[in-house]
Amino acid sequence: MKRDSVSQALASALGELVREDILELKAYHVAPATGMVKLDAMENPYGLPPDLREAVGAVAASLPLNRYPNPNAPELKARLREAFALPADMGLLLGNGSDEIITMIAQTLARPGAVMLAPEPSFAMYRMNAIYSRMRYVGVPLAADFSLDVGAFLEAMQAHRPALIFIAYPNNPTGNAYAEAEVLRILDAATGFVVLDEAYHAFAGKSFMDRIAQYPNLMVMRTVSKLGLAGIRLGYAVARSEWIEQFDKLRPPYNVNVMTQFVAEKVLSRLDVLTLQAERIKAERAKLFAALATFKGLEAFPSEANFILVRVADANKTYGEMQARGVLIRNLHGGHPLLDQCLRLTVGTPEENQRLLEALQESV
Protein backbone atom coordinates (compact mmCIF):
# COMPACT_ATOMS: atom_id res chain seq x y z
CA MET A 1 0.00 0.00 0.00
CA LYS A 2 1.04 3.62 -0.58
CA ARG A 3 1.64 5.73 2.51
CA ASP A 4 -1.60 7.69 2.06
CA SER A 5 -3.71 4.63 1.68
CA VAL A 6 -2.02 2.99 4.68
CA SER A 7 -3.03 5.85 6.96
CA GLN A 8 -6.52 5.93 5.47
CA ALA A 9 -6.93 2.20 5.98
CA LEU A 10 -5.67 2.58 9.57
CA ALA A 11 -8.11 5.41 10.34
CA SER A 12 -11.07 3.52 8.97
CA ALA A 13 -10.07 0.28 10.72
CA LEU A 14 -9.81 2.15 14.06
CA GLY A 15 -13.18 3.77 13.46
CA GLU A 16 -14.83 0.50 12.51
CA LEU A 17 -13.18 -1.97 14.89
CA VAL A 18 -12.51 -0.22 18.21
CA ARG A 19 -15.53 -0.10 20.55
CA GLU A 20 -17.16 3.32 20.36
CA ASP A 21 -17.07 3.79 24.13
CA ILE A 22 -13.32 3.08 24.11
CA LEU A 23 -12.71 5.52 21.25
CA GLU A 24 -14.37 8.22 23.37
CA LEU A 25 -12.32 7.46 26.51
CA LYS A 26 -9.28 9.49 27.54
CA ALA A 27 -6.33 7.41 28.75
CA TYR A 28 -5.37 7.75 32.45
CA HIS A 29 -3.06 10.73 32.61
CA VAL A 30 0.11 10.71 34.73
CA ALA A 31 1.98 14.04 34.84
CA PRO A 32 5.76 13.92 34.19
CA ALA A 33 7.58 14.27 37.51
CA THR A 34 11.31 14.28 36.76
CA GLY A 35 13.11 16.67 39.09
CA MET A 36 9.90 17.64 40.89
CA VAL A 37 8.89 17.39 44.53
CA LYS A 38 6.41 14.62 43.79
CA LEU A 39 3.29 15.06 45.89
CA ASP A 40 0.63 14.02 43.39
CA ALA A 41 0.16 10.27 43.79
CA MET A 42 -0.09 9.37 47.51
CA GLU A 43 3.24 7.59 47.51
CA ASN A 44 5.12 6.97 50.75
CA PRO A 45 8.07 9.41 50.50
CA TYR A 46 10.41 7.30 52.63
CA GLY A 47 12.43 4.59 50.95
CA LEU A 48 13.34 1.33 52.66
CA PRO A 49 16.21 1.41 55.20
CA PRO A 50 19.61 0.11 53.96
CA ASP A 51 19.45 -3.28 55.72
CA LEU A 52 16.06 -4.06 54.22
CA ARG A 53 17.21 -2.89 50.78
CA GLU A 54 20.09 -5.32 51.00
CA ALA A 55 17.79 -8.13 52.05
CA VAL A 56 15.54 -7.34 49.07
CA GLY A 57 18.60 -7.37 46.81
CA ALA A 58 19.61 -10.80 48.06
CA VAL A 59 16.08 -12.11 47.47
CA ALA A 60 16.04 -10.67 43.94
CA ALA A 61 19.43 -12.23 43.15
CA SER A 62 18.28 -15.71 44.10
CA LEU A 63 14.95 -15.76 42.23
CA PRO A 64 14.35 -18.24 39.41
CA LEU A 65 13.48 -15.63 36.78
CA ASN A 66 13.34 -18.30 34.08
CA ARG A 67 10.33 -19.91 35.80
CA TYR A 68 6.73 -18.78 35.86
CA PRO A 69 5.60 -17.59 39.28
CA ASN A 70 3.45 -19.83 41.45
CA PRO A 71 -0.04 -18.77 40.35
CA ASN A 72 -1.39 -19.17 43.88
CA ALA A 73 1.41 -17.32 45.70
CA PRO A 74 0.97 -19.41 48.87
CA GLU A 75 3.93 -17.97 50.80
CA LEU A 76 2.94 -14.41 50.07
CA LYS A 77 -0.68 -15.12 51.01
CA ALA A 78 0.41 -16.66 54.29
CA ARG A 79 2.58 -13.61 54.98
CA LEU A 80 -0.28 -11.21 54.19
CA ARG A 81 -2.67 -13.14 56.42
CA GLU A 82 -0.22 -13.01 59.29
CA ALA A 83 1.00 -9.44 58.80
CA PHE A 84 -2.48 -7.91 58.55
CA ALA A 85 -4.30 -10.40 60.81
CA LEU A 86 -6.77 -11.30 58.04
CA PRO A 87 -9.73 -13.47 59.07
CA ALA A 88 -8.54 -17.06 58.67
CA ASP A 89 -11.89 -18.43 57.49
CA MET A 90 -12.15 -16.02 54.54
CA GLY A 91 -10.78 -16.22 51.01
CA LEU A 92 -7.95 -14.02 49.74
CA LEU A 93 -7.55 -12.65 46.21
CA LEU A 94 -4.35 -11.04 44.94
CA GLY A 95 -4.10 -8.51 42.14
CA ASN A 96 -1.48 -6.67 40.16
CA GLY A 97 -2.40 -3.67 42.27
CA SER A 98 -5.93 -3.34 43.59
CA ASP A 99 -6.71 -1.77 40.22
CA GLU A 100 -6.66 -5.26 38.76
CA ILE A 101 -8.95 -6.56 41.49
CA ILE A 102 -11.49 -3.87 40.60
CA THR A 103 -11.31 -5.06 36.99
CA MET A 104 -11.82 -8.73 37.91
CA ILE A 105 -14.84 -7.97 40.10
CA ALA A 106 -16.51 -5.71 37.54
CA GLN A 107 -16.02 -8.27 34.76
CA THR A 108 -17.41 -11.06 36.92
CA LEU A 109 -20.56 -9.17 37.87
CA ALA A 110 -21.19 -7.49 34.50
CA ARG A 111 -24.37 -9.31 33.56
CA PRO A 112 -26.31 -7.42 30.86
CA GLY A 113 -27.84 -4.33 32.45
CA ALA A 114 -25.96 -4.71 35.75
CA VAL A 115 -25.35 -1.47 37.66
CA MET A 116 -22.25 -0.30 39.52
CA LEU A 117 -22.96 2.29 42.23
CA ALA A 118 -20.48 4.51 44.06
CA PRO A 119 -20.43 7.79 45.96
CA GLU A 120 -19.02 10.70 43.94
CA PRO A 121 -16.41 12.08 43.80
CA SER A 122 -14.39 8.97 44.46
CA PHE A 123 -11.67 6.83 42.91
CA ALA A 124 -11.78 7.25 39.13
CA MET A 125 -11.06 3.61 38.35
CA TYR A 126 -14.49 2.46 39.52
CA ARG A 127 -16.26 4.29 36.71
CA MET A 128 -13.53 3.42 34.22
CA ASN A 129 -14.03 -0.27 34.97
CA ALA A 130 -17.78 0.06 34.62
CA ILE A 131 -17.09 1.31 31.10
CA TYR A 132 -14.54 -1.44 30.36
CA SER A 133 -16.94 -4.15 31.46
CA ARG A 134 -20.08 -2.45 30.12
CA MET A 135 -21.77 -2.10 33.45
CA ARG A 136 -24.06 0.88 33.87
CA TYR A 137 -22.37 3.30 36.27
CA VAL A 138 -24.41 5.40 38.69
CA GLY A 139 -22.65 7.95 40.90
CA VAL A 140 -24.37 9.35 43.99
CA PRO A 141 -23.05 12.81 44.94
CA LEU A 142 -21.62 13.25 48.43
CA ALA A 143 -22.86 16.14 50.59
CA ALA A 144 -21.02 19.47 50.18
CA ASP A 145 -18.82 18.62 53.20
CA PHE A 146 -18.01 15.26 51.52
CA SER A 147 -19.96 13.21 54.05
CA LEU A 148 -22.22 10.46 52.71
CA ASP A 149 -25.70 11.50 51.66
CA VAL A 150 -27.09 8.26 53.06
CA GLY A 151 -30.68 9.04 52.15
CA ALA A 152 -29.78 9.67 48.52
CA PHE A 153 -27.54 6.60 48.48
CA LEU A 154 -30.24 4.30 49.87
CA GLU A 155 -32.72 5.75 47.37
CA ALA A 156 -30.31 5.10 44.51
CA MET A 157 -29.90 1.52 45.76
CA GLN A 158 -33.68 1.11 45.72
CA ALA A 159 -33.99 2.61 42.26
CA HIS A 160 -31.07 0.86 40.53
CA ARG A 161 -30.61 -2.40 42.46
CA PRO A 162 -26.83 -2.26 41.97
CA ALA A 163 -24.99 -5.56 41.45
CA LEU A 164 -21.84 -3.87 42.71
CA ILE A 165 -21.15 -1.00 45.14
CA PHE A 166 -17.70 0.54 45.68
CA ILE A 167 -17.06 2.59 48.80
CA ALA A 168 -13.56 3.96 49.32
CA TYR A 169 -12.92 4.21 53.06
CA PRO A 170 -11.28 6.69 53.61
CA ASN A 171 -12.38 8.25 50.35
CA ASN A 172 -10.02 9.39 47.61
CA PRO A 173 -9.81 12.30 46.71
CA THR A 174 -11.60 13.83 49.72
CA GLY A 175 -9.62 12.09 52.50
CA ASN A 176 -12.52 11.56 54.93
CA ALA A 177 -13.79 8.23 56.25
CA TYR A 178 -17.59 8.16 56.37
CA ALA A 179 -19.41 7.57 59.66
CA GLU A 180 -19.32 3.85 60.39
CA ALA A 181 -23.06 3.73 61.22
CA GLU A 182 -23.87 5.17 57.79
CA VAL A 183 -21.77 2.59 55.96
CA LEU A 184 -23.49 -0.10 58.02
CA ARG A 185 -26.89 1.19 56.89
CA ILE A 186 -25.73 0.69 53.31
CA LEU A 187 -24.42 -2.79 54.08
CA ASP A 188 -27.73 -3.69 55.77
CA ALA A 189 -29.73 -2.53 52.74
CA ALA A 190 -27.45 -3.94 50.03
CA THR A 191 -28.66 -6.85 47.93
CA GLY A 192 -25.61 -6.79 45.62
CA PHE A 193 -21.88 -7.18 46.22
CA VAL A 194 -20.20 -4.42 48.24
CA VAL A 195 -16.49 -3.60 48.10
CA LEU A 196 -15.03 -1.45 50.85
CA ASP A 197 -11.82 -0.12 49.36
CA GLU A 198 -9.42 0.42 52.24
CA ALA A 199 -6.45 1.62 50.19
CA TYR A 200 -5.64 4.15 52.96
CA HIS A 201 -6.13 1.74 55.84
CA ALA A 202 -2.61 2.35 57.20
CA PHE A 203 -3.42 6.01 57.82
CA ALA A 204 -6.95 5.63 59.14
CA GLY A 205 -6.71 2.83 61.68
CA LYS A 206 -10.34 1.90 60.95
CA SER A 207 -11.54 -1.11 59.04
CA PHE A 208 -14.54 -3.19 58.09
CA MET A 209 -12.44 -6.35 57.97
CA ASP A 210 -14.19 -7.73 61.07
CA ARG A 211 -17.60 -7.19 59.49
CA ILE A 212 -17.12 -9.69 56.66
CA ALA A 213 -18.33 -12.47 58.96
CA GLN A 214 -21.59 -10.57 59.38
CA TYR A 215 -22.26 -9.69 55.72
CA PRO A 216 -22.14 -12.50 53.14
CA ASN A 217 -21.61 -10.17 50.16
CA LEU A 218 -18.94 -7.89 51.61
CA MET A 219 -15.35 -7.61 50.38
CA VAL A 220 -12.60 -5.57 51.98
CA MET A 221 -9.95 -4.58 49.45
CA ARG A 222 -6.54 -3.10 50.25
CA THR A 223 -3.24 -2.36 48.59
CA VAL A 224 0.38 -2.12 49.69
CA SER A 225 0.83 0.86 47.34
CA LYS A 226 0.08 3.70 49.75
CA LEU A 227 1.93 1.88 52.52
CA GLY A 228 5.24 2.19 50.66
CA LEU A 229 5.31 -0.41 47.89
CA ALA A 230 3.53 1.30 44.98
CA GLY A 231 6.20 0.09 42.56
CA ILE A 232 5.69 -3.63 43.06
CA ARG A 233 1.94 -3.54 42.25
CA LEU A 234 0.19 -5.68 44.83
CA GLY A 235 -3.39 -5.47 45.98
CA TYR A 236 -5.32 -7.94 48.10
CA ALA A 237 -8.97 -8.51 48.85
CA VAL A 238 -10.76 -10.53 51.49
CA ALA A 239 -14.24 -12.03 51.11
CA ARG A 240 -15.98 -15.38 51.46
CA SER A 241 -14.10 -18.02 49.47
CA GLU A 242 -17.26 -18.73 47.39
CA TRP A 243 -16.91 -15.21 45.97
CA ILE A 244 -13.12 -15.38 45.60
CA GLU A 245 -13.48 -18.63 43.59
CA GLN A 246 -15.60 -16.83 41.01
CA PHE A 247 -13.34 -13.76 40.72
CA ASP A 248 -10.31 -16.04 40.52
CA LYS A 249 -11.57 -17.40 37.19
CA LEU A 250 -10.92 -14.00 35.62
CA ARG A 251 -7.52 -13.56 37.22
CA PRO A 252 -4.64 -13.89 34.76
CA PRO A 253 -2.83 -16.93 36.25
CA TYR A 254 0.53 -15.20 36.64
CA ASN A 255 -0.75 -11.75 37.58
CA VAL A 256 1.52 -11.42 40.62
CA ASN A 257 5.03 -11.84 39.28
CA VAL A 258 7.97 -13.56 40.94
CA MET A 259 9.66 -10.29 41.97
CA THR A 260 6.48 -8.98 43.56
CA GLN A 261 5.74 -12.23 45.38
CA PHE A 262 9.15 -12.58 46.95
CA VAL A 263 10.00 -8.93 47.51
CA ALA A 264 6.61 -8.31 49.13
CA GLU A 265 7.07 -11.35 51.33
CA LYS A 266 10.46 -10.08 52.46
CA VAL A 267 9.36 -6.51 53.11
CA LEU A 268 6.17 -7.58 54.87
CA SER A 269 8.27 -9.69 57.22
CA ARG A 270 9.40 -6.24 58.40
CA LEU A 271 5.99 -4.60 58.42
CA ASP A 272 7.09 -2.62 61.48
CA VAL A 273 9.29 -0.49 59.18
CA LEU A 274 6.32 0.49 56.98
CA THR A 275 4.00 0.96 59.94
CA LEU A 276 6.47 3.35 61.54
CA GLN A 277 6.68 5.31 58.29
CA ALA A 278 2.89 5.48 58.18
CA GLU A 279 2.93 6.88 61.72
CA ARG A 280 5.42 9.56 60.65
CA ILE A 281 3.21 10.41 57.69
CA LYS A 282 0.21 10.75 60.02
CA ALA A 283 2.20 13.09 62.29
CA GLU A 284 3.25 15.13 59.25
CA ARG A 285 -0.36 15.19 58.05
CA ALA A 286 -1.40 16.85 61.31
CA LYS A 287 1.39 19.44 61.02
CA LEU A 288 0.60 20.13 57.38
CA PHE A 289 -3.10 20.51 58.16
CA ALA A 290 -2.38 22.95 60.99
CA ALA A 291 -0.13 25.01 58.71
CA LEU A 292 -2.72 25.02 55.92
CA ALA A 293 -5.40 26.17 58.37
CA THR A 294 -3.49 29.45 58.83
CA PHE A 295 -3.50 30.21 55.08
CA LYS A 296 -5.82 32.91 53.86
CA GLY A 297 -7.84 32.12 50.76
CA LEU A 298 -7.53 28.36 51.23
CA GLU A 299 -9.82 25.78 52.81
CA ALA A 300 -8.29 22.46 53.93
CA PHE A 301 -10.50 19.41 54.48
CA PRO A 302 -9.77 17.03 57.37
CA SER A 303 -8.14 13.80 56.20
CA GLU A 304 -7.65 10.28 57.51
CA ALA A 305 -5.49 9.37 54.52
CA ASN A 306 -1.96 10.37 53.43
CA PHE A 307 -3.14 13.40 51.48
CA ILE A 308 -5.10 16.59 52.12
CA LEU A 309 -7.70 18.09 49.83
CA VAL A 310 -7.72 21.90 49.67
CA ARG A 311 -9.90 24.45 47.94
CA VAL A 312 -8.29 27.64 46.63
CA ALA A 313 -9.55 30.66 44.71
CA ASP A 314 -8.14 29.58 41.35
CA ALA A 315 -6.99 25.96 41.23
CA ASN A 316 -5.65 26.03 37.67
CA LYS A 317 -3.51 29.08 38.43
CA THR A 318 -2.23 27.72 41.76
CA TYR A 319 -1.50 24.33 40.20
CA GLY A 320 0.49 25.92 37.37
CA GLU A 321 2.46 28.16 39.69
CA MET A 322 3.25 25.27 42.01
CA GLN A 323 4.47 23.28 39.03
CA ALA A 324 6.67 26.18 37.95
CA ARG A 325 8.14 26.16 41.47
CA GLY A 326 8.98 22.47 41.15
CA VAL A 327 6.16 21.05 43.27
CA LEU A 328 3.85 18.54 41.62
CA ILE A 329 0.39 18.16 43.15
CA ARG A 330 -2.93 17.00 41.70
CA ASN A 331 -5.40 19.42 40.17
CA LEU A 332 -8.95 18.12 40.60
CA HIS A 333 -10.75 21.18 39.29
CA GLY A 334 -13.12 20.26 36.48
CA GLY A 335 -13.30 16.59 37.44
CA HIS A 336 -16.52 16.85 39.46
CA PRO A 337 -18.74 19.79 40.50
CA LEU A 338 -18.05 19.09 44.19
CA LEU A 339 -14.31 19.41 43.50
CA ASP A 340 -14.60 22.94 42.18
CA GLN A 341 -11.23 24.75 42.68
CA CYS A 342 -9.81 21.76 44.56
CA LEU A 343 -6.22 20.48 44.71
CA ARG A 344 -4.97 17.29 46.33
CA LEU A 345 -1.71 17.39 48.26
CA THR A 346 0.09 14.17 49.16
CA VAL A 347 1.82 14.31 52.55
CA GLY A 348 5.58 14.09 52.00
CA THR A 349 8.69 14.23 54.17
CA PRO A 350 9.06 17.25 56.51
CA GLU A 351 11.38 18.88 53.93
CA GLU A 352 8.97 18.22 51.06
CA ASN A 353 6.04 19.57 53.05
CA GLN A 354 8.04 22.69 53.83
CA ARG A 355 8.68 23.23 50.12
CA LEU A 356 5.02 22.53 49.44
CA LEU A 357 3.92 25.15 51.97
CA GLU A 358 6.38 27.75 50.66
CA ALA A 359 5.31 27.20 47.08
CA LEU A 360 1.65 27.23 48.06
CA GLN A 361 2.07 30.45 50.05
CA GLU A 362 3.42 32.13 46.92
CA SER A 363 0.79 30.58 44.64
CA VAL A 364 -2.58 31.17 46.33
Using CB under 6 A as the binding rule, whether residue 223 contacts ligand PLP is answered as: yes
> Under rule CB under 6 A, how many of the chain's residues touch ligand PLP?
12
User: Which of 28-36, 76-84, 92-100, 207-215 is the region at the interface with ligand PLP (rule: CB under 6 A)?
Assistant: 92-100
Using CB under 6 A as the binding rule, whether residue 225 contacts ligand PLP is answered as: yes
Using CB under 6 A as the binding rule, whether residue 264 contacts ligand PLP is answered as: no
DSSP code at position 337: G
Distance CA 113, CA 90 (A): 30
Using CB under 6 A as the binding rule, whether residue 257 contacts ligand PLP is answered as: no
Distance CA 251, CA 245 (A): 10
Using CB under 6 A as the binding rule, whether residue 357 contacts ligand PLP is answered as: no
Give whichever of 263 and 364 is closer to ligand PLP, judged by the CB atom: 263
Using CB under 6 A as the binding rule, whether residue 119 contacts ligand PLP is answered as: no
Choose among 364, 311, 361, 357: nearest CA to 173. 311
Give whichever of 91 and 235 is closer to ligand PLP, judged by the CB atom: 235
Using CB under 6 A as the binding rule, whether residue 44 contacts ligand PLP is answered as: no
DSSP code at position 227: I
Choose among 75, 97, 69, 80: nearest CA to 259. 69
E-only strand ranges, the chain: 37-38, 91-95, 115-120, 136-141, 164-168, 193-197, 218-223, 235-239, 298-300, 307-312, 327-328, 330-331, 342-346
Radius of gyration of the chain (CA): 22
Using CB under 6 A as the binding rule, whether residue 98 contacts ligand PLP is answered as: yes
User: Which of 139-147, 154-162, 223-231, 310-318 is the region at the interface with ligand PLP (rule: CB under 6 A)?
Assistant: 223-231
| Sole binder of ligand PLP in the list 55, 70, 99, 295 (CB under 6 A) | 99
| Residues at the site binding ligand PLP, with contacts judged by CB under 6 A | 97-99, 123, 168, 172, 197, 199, 223, 225, 230, 235
